[in-house]
């Protein structure tokens, strides 16, 4: 196979992998907003993904916002310009981030390997990816058992932040986020490492950071 053919094959694989990652983010960000009670439960509708019954926001505006953000994330992931995506839950009154869900994005050895034969040996199949995603989503569901309960009388919002490298082209309507937004405020902060999942070309490393306030 010629070098150009190998490069085209690798790019197609990266694009397919990036699409799977963004599809995961789209359903997972909305599901976390439901699990953590950022919006009322009646503002979510059931949806089936990865063979599981989940919930997603019903609001077209909210879904459009998440999808628009993730379209740009997908472009960055394909080019290797995005290393992490953060979902920050924010106390509206204080403006403080009270919880941070982090998803590290690493290009796996097979994704960066120019030797096609070696890459094929290391690739994870789609069913394995789905199994790993299901395990992670179940862990997110069970996270309510250890995460602090949010104040029912308070109002919360969220923001999505991306860690990009210097070569990442940032759209004009995007801006640099304040460092304080990415930092969880409060005492006794704890980080819980969650399950990872892998596509043919990337590995997603998930965690949640929160303040126990004890």
pLDDT digits (tens, 9 = 90+) for 53-91: 999 999 999 999 999 999 999 999 999 999 999 999 999
pLDDT at res. 3: 46
pLDDT at res. 40: 93
Structure tokens at 152: 């029912």
The burial class, CB within 10 Å (0-12 / 13-18 / 19+), for 43 is middle
What is the C-alpha to C-alpha distance for residues 162 and 86, in angstroms, rounded to an integer? Answer: 6
Domain region containing 61: 3-211
pLDDT at res. 139: 96
Q: Which residue has the tokens 């290797």?
A: 80
DSSP class of residue 104 equals: E
Beta strands of the chain (E only): which ranges?
44-49, 52-57, 82-91, 97-107, 156-164, 189-198, 202-211
In this structure, the number of other CB atoms found within 10 A of the CB of residue 7 comes to 11
- Number of domains, the chain: 1
Give Rg (Cα) of the chain.
18
109-161 residue pLDDT tens: 655 554 555 445 445 788 999 999 999 999 999 998 899 999 889 999 999 99
pLDDT at res. 118: 44
pLDDT at res. 175: 63
pLDDT at res. 168: 74
CATH number at residue 69: 3.30.900.10
150-193 residue pLDDT tens: 988 999 999 999 998 877 777 777 766 665 667 888 778 999 99
User: Mean pLDDT over residues 32-38, rounded?
Assistant: 95
pLDDT at res. 125: 85
Listed range (9-23, 75-89, 91-105) with the worst mean pLDDT:
9-23
Q: pTM (2 decimals)?
A: 0.87
pLDDT higher than 80, residue 212: no
């Amino acid at each position: 196979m010629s070098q150009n053919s190998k490069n085209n094959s690798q790019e197609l694989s990266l694009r397919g992998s990036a699409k799977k990652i963004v599809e995961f983010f789209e359903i997972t960000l909305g599901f976390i907003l439901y699990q953590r009670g950022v919006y009322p439960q009646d503002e979510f509708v059931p949806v089936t993904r990865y063979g599981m019954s989940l919930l997603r926001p019903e609001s077209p505006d909210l879904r459009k916002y998440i999808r628009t953000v993730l379209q740009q994330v997908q472009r960055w992931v394909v080019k290797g310009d995005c290393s992490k995506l953060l979902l920050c839950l924010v106390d509206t009154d204080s403006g403080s981030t009270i919880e941070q869900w982090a998803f590290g994005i690493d290009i796996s050895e097979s994704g960066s390997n120019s030797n096609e034969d070696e890459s094929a040996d290391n690739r994870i199949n789609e069913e394995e990816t789905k199994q790993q995603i299901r395990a992670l989503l179940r862990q997110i569901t069970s996270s309510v058992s250890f995460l602090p309960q949010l104040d029912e009388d308070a109002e919360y919002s969220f923001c999505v932040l991306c860690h990009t490298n210097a070569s990442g082209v940032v759209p004009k309507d995007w801006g640099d986020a304040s460092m304080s937004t990415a930092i969880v405020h409060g005492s006794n902060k704890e980080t819980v490492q969650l399950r990872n999942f892998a596509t043919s070309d990337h590995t997603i490393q998930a965690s949640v950071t929160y303040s126990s306030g004890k």
